[in-house]
Copies of this chain bind each other. A is one copy, B any other.
């Protein structure tokens, strides 16, 4: 049994009210009483029980973070940023890695509410705005990478569109005309924003879009691998690829090599994110850097500001700038386009594949 305020009160010979005041430094209290109480608390190893405290205060100093897949390197960085400011501002973080599983998400969300979290950071969610609203009803919410007309949520996100434009313009400036895009997962605003930026850049350069050059993909290595293989099999003669993110770019790199082509001599590849590994793999990956830790930090700051504000606070819509990082995976467009022999492309497992 843990020591309670009653034990401390008895040991110090005062009432529990006095102990509470001494410990919290609230209200007038005699110096002597105060130190007597402090001593007693110390001696007994007393630790206040936040459950009781929170029950009164109607605040738990806890925020929930919901992510779809903590295994994707984007989210740990985001969480790092969130944790940093949460800790600094006296909050704890309750984590749910469930957003990609509707059942579990629902379950976790309910549990989180019952636990009386003060607010929620929703990252990379595939939930529709109204469902989010329904579930979080009343709780302050900050979404990351999820533009939404949600009347109750602030949004913090990187400037995906500008980043995609940057990446595409970089390829154009290297002389590429036939530039492919391996898109992100369906139904995410990030996916749409990056596609839009890609299109914008093409349009601005007067390069006509070709449907064949946009391939559905995803955020994992295997998504990029598959998408790139599909792209190569189409025989579009593209000389550059803008991948949905770094992981898919790395998958694309593997597919290109599989096809017997070289990066960047035959095909340039650029990603998005600038994960830590991007500078270590060969060829070093050109990419668009987003400051994910800062993104998380800002999300937490915005949320905690909401919590501190009396009444309904003004919602925030914040966009964070991104940078182009040029490394080795992008280079000048080749004079002559080498076309791989698609029918018998080798799979990574060593077998033969047919598109």
Query: Interface size on A (CB < 8 Å)?
Result: 59
Interface residues as binary, A311-336 with B (CB distance below 8 Å gives 1, 0 otherwise): 00000000000000000000000000
Once bound together, how far apart are the Cα atoms of A239 and B114, in whole Å?
Answer: 59
Query: B51, B87, B280: which contacts A55 (Cβ < 8 A)?
Result: B51
Nearest-neighbor residue (CB-CB) of A93 within chain B: B95
Contact A251 B276 (CB under 8 A): no
Asked if A208 is an interface residue, CB under 8 A from chain B, the answer is: no
A111 cross-chain contacts in B, Cβ below 8 A: 90, 92
Contact B254 A62 (CB under 8 A): no
Contact A221 B276 (CB under 8 A): yes
Asked if A274 is an interface residue, CB under 8 A from chain B, the answer is: no
Q: Which of A29-37, A76-84, A142-150, A195-203 contacts B (4 or more CB under 8 A)?
A: A76-84
Contact B115 A92 (CB under 8 A): yes
A70 cross-chain contacts in B, Cβ below 8 A: 76, 79-80, 83
A237 to chain B, nearest CB (A): 24
Query: B80, B90, B94, B251: which contacts A92 (Cβ < 8 A)?
Result: B94
Q: Which of A11-19, A102-110, A119-127 contacts B (4 or more CB under 8 A)?
A: A102-110
Q: Which of A42-50, A153-161, A181-189 contacts B (4 or more CB under 8 A)?
A: A42-50
A263 to chain B, nearest CB (A): 10
A98 cross-chain contacts in B, Cβ below 8 A: 83, 87
Once bound together, how far apart are the Cα atoms of A106 and B111, in whole Å?
Answer: 27
Interface residues as binary, A66-82 with B (CB distance below 8 Å gives 1, 0 otherwise): 00001101011101100
A166 to chain B, nearest CB (A): 23
Asked if A52 is an interface residue, CB under 8 A from chain B, the answer is: yes
Asked if A130 is an interface residue, CB under 8 A from chain B, the answer is: no
Contact A115 B221 (CB under 8 A): no
Asked if A235 is an interface residue, CB under 8 A from chain B, the answer is: no
A162 to chain B, nearest CB (A): 25
Once bound together, how far apart are the Cα atoms of A331 and B297, in whole Å?
Answer: 45
Interface residues as binary, A273-291 with B (CB distance below 8 Å gives 1, 0 otherwise): 0001101111000000000
A281 cross-chain contacts in B, Cβ below 8 A: 250, 281-282
Nearest-neighbor residue (CB-CB) of A111 within chain B: B92
Once bound together, how far apart are the Cα atoms of A95 and B257, in whole Å?
Answer: 40
A75 cross-chain contacts in B, Cβ below 8 A: 76
Given known A-B contacts A87-B108, A110-B47, A282-B282, A71 and B80 have beta carbons under 8 A apart: yes
Once bound together, how far apart are the Cα atoms of A80 and B251, in whole Å?
Answer: 23
Asked if A113 is an interface residue, CB under 8 A from chain B, the answer is: yes
A22 cross-chain contacts in B, Cβ below 8 A: none
Asked if A300 is an interface residue, CB under 8 A from chain B, the answer is: no
Given known A-B contacts A76-B71, A93-B95, A95-B94, A50 and B115 have beta carbons under 8 A apart: yes
Query: B2, B60, B80, B97: which contacts A80 (Cβ < 8 A)?
Result: B97
A65 cross-chain contacts in B, Cβ below 8 A: 95
A351 to chain B, nearest CB (A): 15
A179 to chain B, nearest CB (A): 22
12 interchain pairs, CB-CB under 8 A: A51-B115, A60-B115, A62-B115, A71-B77, A83-B96, A83-B97, A87-B98, A87-B107, A93-B94, A221-B277, A251-B280, A253-B280
